[in-house]
Amino acid sequence: LGRASRTLLAYEVIPVWCIRQGYRSVPLRAPSGNYIKDCSLLVYISSKVCAFDAPESPKPLSVPPPSEPYPGSEDKSPARAPRPRVSLQSVLPPIRQAPA
pLDDT digits (tens, 9 = 90+) for 5-31: 778 888 888 888 888 899 999 999 998
Q: Which residues contact 70 (CB under 8 A, 6 or more apart)?
A: 64, 79
Mean pLDDT of 33-60: 78
> By C-alpha distance, which of 89, 72, 97 is closest to 21?
89
pLDDT class for 35, splitting at 50, 70, 90?
Answer: very high
CB-based contact 27:35 (threshold 8 Å): yes
Q: Which residues contact 31 (CB under 8 A, 6 or more apart)?
A: 8, 9, 10, 11
pTM over the 0.75 mark? no
Interval 47-84: pLDDT, tens: 887 776 656 655 555 655 565 555 555 555 555 666 65
> By C-alpha distance, which of 82, 92, 77 is closest to 40?
92
